[in-house]
């Protein structure tokens, strides 16, 4: 990795118009709509009921061209995976609209030869007309093939610690076998999620689900369990990605509530692994 190039990289601001069908496609990709009688799910997958998209929809809007950064910075693209995702949701998105995305690299940390490197980049979304901010997304990308590159001193702040007690509640959610193929229509066309040969080169026996798709599922589990489907009351959602999910697997989100903070993790049932760890959701007062 050319750390000097990555650290000083300047992204171009991106304007992105979206329609209600894009918000609906996102909700379908993360698995909503399986029950045609469920009003909480129908409000996100039918035009007549859609008032606001899910807040995590912001993670697919006006995304910066990371492939250009990876190429210029000489990063091994095949071995890049999502490490962490944090987001602050300032206000609900309208059912359709025009947004402007502005991104910047805010940290590069070297874990050492053979251990990879971490790249943190911040992405803000604003209304194209009013200039009001909708959300701030802070992502950490794990470049597994680029350890030993040098970078900033130390490491990024540690993730949220989960309670030691048994989870208070859980929510099970079945991913669709075609989830990754639907989700990639929203803009992330990384062949790791669709091409078996590329997945094999990256060390997986088949294409994996996008980390941000699993992130959206975790957000929905919190919204469904603690907010009665009122997605606009989700103020923040943070997590660390631990293991990949394969499309079609059953996920269980385990949760603990302490005031307006919900801690969570996502398990893959059948493989007994943690896919998302150190989760923290903040409920709006």
Q: How many C-beta atoms surround the C-beta of residue 210 within 10 A?
A: 27
**Is 193 marked active-site?**
yes
**With 0-12 CB in 10 A as exposed, 13-18 as middle and 19+ as buried, what is 57?**
buried
Return all residues near 130 (Cβ < 8 A) that are at least 6 apart: none
- Cβ atoms 214, 251 nearer than 8 A: yes
Among the listed residues 22, 188, 233, 277, the single catalytic one is 188
Whether 277 is catalytic is no
- Give the tokens for residue 254: 């385990």
Compute the CA torsion angle 158, 162, 163, 167 (nearest 10 deg).
Answer: 180
Catalytic residue among 123, 173, 193, 210: 193
Q: What token pair was written down for 33?
A: 């709509």
Given a contact cutoff of 8 angstroms between Cβ atoms, the answer to whether 240 and 278 are in contact is yes
Q: Tokens at residue 60, please?
A: 């697919």
Catalytic amino acids? Answer: 188, 193
């Amino acid at each position: 990795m050319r750390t000097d190039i990555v650290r000083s990289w300047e992204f171009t601001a991106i304007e992105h118009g979206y329609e209600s069908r894009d918000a609906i496609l996102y909700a379908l990709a993360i698995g909503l709509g399986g029950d045609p009688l469920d009003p909480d799910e129908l409000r996100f997958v039918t035009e007549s009921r859609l008032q606001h998209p899910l807040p995590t929809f912001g993670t697919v809007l006006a995304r910066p061209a990371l492939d250009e950064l990876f190429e210029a910075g000489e990063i091994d693209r095949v071995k890049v995976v999502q490490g962490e995702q944090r987001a602050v949701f300032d206000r609900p998105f309208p059912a359709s609209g025009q947004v402007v995305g502005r991104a910047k690299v805010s940290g590069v940390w070297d874990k050492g030869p053979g251990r990879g490197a971490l790249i943190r980049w911040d992405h803000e979304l604003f209304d194209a007309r009013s200039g009001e901010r909708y959300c701030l997304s802070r992502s950490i990308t794990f470049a597994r093939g680029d350890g030993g590159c040098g970078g900033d001193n130390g490491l990024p702040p540690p993730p949220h610690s989960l309670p030691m007690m048994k989870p208070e509640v859980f929510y099970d959610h079945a991913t669709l076998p075609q989830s990754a193929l639907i989700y990639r229509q929203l803009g992330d066309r990384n062949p790791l999620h669709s091409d078996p040969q590329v997945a094999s080169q990256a060390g997986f026996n088949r294409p994996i689900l996008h980390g941000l798709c699993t992130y959206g599922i975790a957000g929905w589990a919190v919204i469904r369990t603690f907010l009665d489907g009122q997605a606009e009351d989700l103020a923040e959602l943070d997590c660390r990605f631990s293991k990949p999910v394969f499309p079609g697997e059953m996920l269980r989100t385990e949760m603990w509530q302490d005031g307006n903070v919900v801690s969570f993790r996502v398990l893959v049932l059948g493989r007994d692994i943690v896919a998302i760890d150190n989760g923290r959701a903040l409920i709006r007062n």
